[in-house]
Structure 1
Amino acid sequence: MNAPDSTLLARQQLYRDMDPHHLTPLWDVLHALVPPKPATPCVPAHWEYARVRPFLLRAGEAITAAEAVRRVLILENPGLRGQSAVTQSLYAGLQLILPGEVAPSHRHTQSALRFIVEGSGAYTAVDGERTTMRPGDFIITPSWTWHDHGHEAQGPVVWLDGLDIPMVRFFDAGFAENGSSASQAVSKPEGGSYARFGHNMAPVRHEAPFGATSPIFSYPYDRTLEALARLERDAPIDPWDGVKLRYVNPLTGGWPMPTMATFMQKLPAGFQGKGWRQTDGAVYSVVEGSGVAEIEAGDQHWRFELSPRDHFVVPSWHTARLNSEAGCVLFSYSDRPVHQALALHKEERLP
């Protein structure tokens, strides 16, 4: 039997001696800390709405919106169980509100988006202005603004909640405050923010009401769909994205929120998309139509058959291809603004 290597013994003794001083050797972990390509623990995942919806309705029987504050089922990435995250920087959940309910007023430093999945007639109120929810609408709750939700119509209403909770948690910058009443006082007419900022114009004298966040907090689906249909008819179809538009802050031309980018795209009937990958992980909601998402990483492959109101996630640096025989409309959001602000964003469009 060979004698122990003296260098190895000295190294092991070094580790033992410095451990109480909270010192560890970089050379043991360098390749994990600075990998040759992104090595996310996130995995692709698909939430079929037909399977999820019964659990939402059962939640509606088990707890009220007032008791829960926000009655939401978290879309938790299988690779991040217990972390309330869909990617390492983003949160996703499906929120249910029933007729007569109010989700009470509060505010927090986390930015939030609402994408309406099912039902009409509920409302969200932001900073004293209400907007009525309709399927396909994209609604913003800016950081540190009072907001509440209510439902004065018929039938359940469900929306996708997208927040930067994991990102804010990483920076230890989370604050929250509950309102003094369930519903905030409505002090502005519905549609007022869109009238001021939503027509490629702005008041001559104004301040950005939500700082770096868009002054429009409700982007109606009918106008978005009209733009997509016009481009599908008159413009070239992108081989990777079909017809894809990004939502913008009309005051800056930039992203509507400082931490999250939002997109809407239409895959024309018969679309067979080319592969792409990007460093920003993205969450998708199927608005209408059907299609297939194929995702690859190394020798692993996922295939998701997509139906209306389904949701899926494409993690960082996973190759994805989108196909649709009948045509499909997809909403998505990602953490791209932060990637770009830090000069980290990378994207490849494969042949």
Structure 2
Amino acid sequence: MNAPHPAAQLRQQLYRDMEPLHLTPLWEVLHALVPRQPASPCVPALWRYEEVRPFLMRAGDAITAEEAVRRVLILENPALRGQSAVTQSLYAGLQLILPGEVAPSHRHTQSALRFIVEGAGAYTAVDGERTTMHPGDFIITPSWTWHDHGHEGNDPVVWLDGLDIPMVRFLDAGFAENDTRRSQVVTRAEGTSLARWGHNMAPVRHEKPFGATSPIFSYPYERSRQALEQLERDAAVDEWDGVKLRYVNPQTGGSPMPTMATFMQKLPAGFAGKPWRQTDGALYSVVEGSGEVTIESAAGAWRFAFGPRDHFVVPSWHTARLSSQPGCVLFSFSDRPVHQALGLHHEERLS
């Protein structure tokens, strides 16, 4: 048996001797710290709504919205169990509110989006203005704004919550505060923010009401879908995305929130998209129709058939391809604004 190489012995003794000082050699971990390309620990996953919904309804029997503060089932990435994260930087969950309930007012530094999945008649209130929820609507809760939810309709309402919780946690920058009121006082008529900012116009004298976040906090699905239908009819269909639009902050032209970008796209009937990959991981919510997504990485390949109200995640730098025979509409959100702000965003459209 050969004796250990002297250099190897020296290294191991060096590691043992310096360990009490909390020192570690870079050369042992350099390739993992600075990889040749992104190597996300996240894996693709699909949450079928028909399988998830019964558990949401059981949660409605088990705990009230007020007791829970927010009655949500978290969509956890299978490779990140216990971390309350759908990707390394994003949180996603499905929230249920029942008729007559109120999810009490609070605020936090984390930015949040709501995408309405099922039902109508519920509302969310942000800094004194309410907006009524309808399926397909995209609603923002800006950072550090008071917000509560209520339901004055007749049937359960479910929406997708998307937050930058993992990012804020990574930066150790999270704050939260509970309101002394169960529901905040409404001080502005519903639709005020949309009237001021949602018609390619703006008040003559104004300040940014939500800082770096869009002053529009409710983007109705009716308008989004109308735009997609017109573009599908009158413009060229993109070979990778179908017809895809991004939501914007009308003050800046950038993303509605500083940490999250949101998108709506329509895949025409018979669409067979080309593959692409990007550094921003994204969660998709199926609004209408059905289709299929194939996702590949060095770790393997996944093929998911999706239908209305299903959700799926495409992690960073995984090659994805979308297709749909009957046609479909997809909402998605990602951490793209952070990648762009740091000069890190990269995308490849493959043939």
TM (normalized to structure 1)?
0.99
Q: Name the residue aligned to 2:288.
A: 288
* Alignment pair present for 1:3 and 2:3: yes
**1:222-259 alpha-carbon deviations (Å, 9 max, x no partner):** 00000000000000000000000000001111110000
Q: Name the residue aligned to 1:222.
A: 222
The residue identity in structure 2 corresponding to 1:222 is E
The SS at the match of 2:295 is strand
Q: Name the residue aligned to 2:194.
A: 194
**Cα distance in 2 between the residues matched to 1:73 and 1:116:** 15
User: What pairs with 1:10-21 in structure 2 (closer than 5 Å)?
Assistant: 10-21=10-21
Q: Name the residue aligned to 1:144.
A: 144
Q: Name the residue aligned to 1:129.
A: 129
The residue identity in structure 2 corresponding to 1:230 is Q
**Cα distance in 1 between the residues matched to 2:101 and 2:230:** 38
**Cα distance in 2 between the residues matched to 1:40 and 1:135:** 32
TM superposition shift of 1:32: 0.3
Identity over the aligned pairs, expressed in percent? 80
Q: Name the residue aligned to 2:78.
A: 78
**Cα distance in 1 between the residues matched to 2:22 and 2:301:** 41
The residue identity in structure 2 corresponding to 1:245 is L
TM superposition shift of 1:298: 2.2
Q: Name the residue aligned to 1:251.
A: 251
The residue identity in structure 1 corresponding to 2:265 is Q
The residue identity in structure 2 corresponding to 1:142 is P
The residue identity in structure 1 corresponding to 2:36 is P
The residue identity in structure 2 corresponding to 1:65 is A
**1:273-323 alpha-carbon deviations (Å, 9 max, x no partner):** 000000000000000000001101126111111100000000000000000
Q: Name the residue aligned to 2:167.
A: 167
The residue identity in structure 2 corresponding to 1:258 is P
Q: Name the residue aligned to 1:58.
A: 58
Structure 2: 5+ residue stretches without partners? none
**Cα distance in 2 between the residues matched to 1:87 and 1:299:** 16
Structure 1: 5+ residue stretches without partners? none
Range 187-196 or range 299-308, more displaced = 299-308
**Cα distance in 2 between the residues matched to 1:245 and 1:150:** 30
TM superposition shift of 1:342: 0.2
The SS at the match of 1:330 is strand
**Cα distance in 2 between the residues matched to 1:99 and 1:137:** 19
**Cα distance in 2 between the residues matched to 1:199 and 1:337:** 24
**Cα distance in 2 between the residues matched to 1:69 and 1:305:** 34
* Alignment pair present for 1:329 and 2:326: no
Q: Name the residue aligned to 1:44.
A: 44
Q: Name the residue aligned to 1:308.
A: 308
The SS at the match of 1:227 is helix
Q: Name the residue aligned to 1:35.
A: 35
The residue identity in structure 2 corresponding to 1:339 is H
* Alignment pair present for 1:108 and 2:108: yes
Report the aligned-residue RMSD.
Answer: 0.6
**1:185-233 alpha-carbon deviations (Å, 9 max, x no partner):** 1001000000000000000000010000000000000000000000000
TM superposition shift of 1:4: 2.7
Detail structure 1 runs of 4+ shifted over 4 Å in the superposition: none
**Cα distance in 1 between the residues matched to 2:3 and 2:291:** 64
**Cα distance in 2 between the residues matched to 1:5 and 1:82:** 42
The SS at the match of 1:35 is coil
**Cα distance in 2 between the residues matched to 1:54 and 1:93:** 15
**Cα distance in 1 between the residues matched to 2:211 and 2:7:** 58
**1:9-47 alpha-carbon deviations (Å, 9 max, x no partner):** 111110011000010000000000001111111000000
The SS at the match of 2:96 is strand
The SS at the match of 1:61 is helix
Q: Name the residue aligned to 2:297.
A: 297
* Alignment pair present for 1:98 and 2:98: yes
**Cα distance in 1 between the residues matched to 2:317 and 2:193:** 37
**Cα distance in 2 between the residues matched to 1:128 and 1:98:** 22
